[in-house]
Amino acid sequence: MAPRLREQPDRSQRGFGPDLLEALAACVELINTGRPGAADGIRTVADVQSFGRRYAFHGRAAGAGDIARLRAHRDGLAAVVAACDRADEDAAIAMLNALLRKTGAVPQIVAHDGRGPHIHVSRPATPLADRMAAHFAMALAEMVVMGESGRLRSCASPSCQAVFVDLSRNRSRRFCDSRTCGNRLHVAAYRARRSAAGQGSARSA
């Protein structure tokens, strides 16, 4: 079953199906568990299992090896987003292909739990970390193929470094959250301008 969002995605962005939006949201959440300066969100087997359960990944349960494995995949996914953010599509494609090979992705059509035919990227017996990473890599690959890789971005706030998917109609979003990071940066810029203006007045006096 495809991952589920705890919050409904923005349906105003036509052209992106719900499965893709949900996979992108889960991918972004995973990447952001490893943001520099924040506590790592993947520290225990329970963390891996909880993440998989939250997004409805079925199959083999998490094991001790999944911790380091998922962290490594998380770094790989973050590198793909960084490449997309700097418009280096060739690098993003190379890294995605490598990640899909590394996770042993084997796309197949399945139907279960009353849901119609849909695609699973991995076999149920594949390690949970690999299944999640392969699913997320396919979502990022779909964005590249659709010509939408420019929507994969890092927050413009120097103190944040979170990643997000820009679903605005004109691709104008710059912050992961305009109410916090956006306002904080605007306030800092305003104070810097006031300080510069004050220093200029002092020199001319």
If one compares 165 and 2, the residue with the highest pLDDT of the two is 165
Average pLDDT, integer, range 6-17: 54
Give me 162's structure tokens: 């979170």
Q: Answer yes or no: CATH 1.10.3300.10 is held by domain 18-150.
A: yes
DSSP letter for 168, please. Answer: S
Residue 110 bridge partners (DSSP): 118
Average pLDDT, integer, range 95-103: 98
Q: What is the pLDDT of residues 167-205, one digit of tens each?
A: 998 888 989 886 668 555 444 443 444 444 455 555 555
8 A C-beta contact, residue 203 and residue 195 = no
8 A C-beta contact, residue 55 and residue 4 = yes
Question: Cα–Cα distance between 38 and 21 in angstroms, integer?
Answer: 25
pLDDT of the residue at 172: 85
Question: Cα–Cα distance between 4 and 56 in angstroms, integer?
Answer: 7
8 A C-beta contact, residue 116 and residue 104 = no
If one compares 24 and 184, the residue with the highest pLDDT of the two is 24
8 A C-beta contact, residue 47 and residue 41 = yes
Question: Cα–Cα distance between 113 and 96 in angstroms, integer?
Answer: 30
Whole-prediction pTM value?
A: 0.80
8 A C-beta contact, residue 96 and residue 144 = yes
Residue 89, Cβ neighbours under 10 Å: how many? 14
Whole-number mean pLDDT of the chain?
84
Question: Cα–Cα distance between 85 and 81 in angstroms, integer?
Answer: 6
Residue 94 predicted with pLDDT over 70? yes
Cα distances (angstroms) measured from residue 133 to each of 27, 96, 164: 8, 10, 17
Helix (H, G, I), strand (E, B) or coil at 64: coil
Give the relative orientation of helices 128-145 and 18-32 as an angle to the nearest 10 degrees. Answer: 120
Give me 134's structure tokens: 């392969």
DSSP letter for 118, please. Answer: E
pLDDT of the residue at 203: 57
Residue 35 predicted with pLDDT over 60? yes
Place of tokens 């599509």: 89
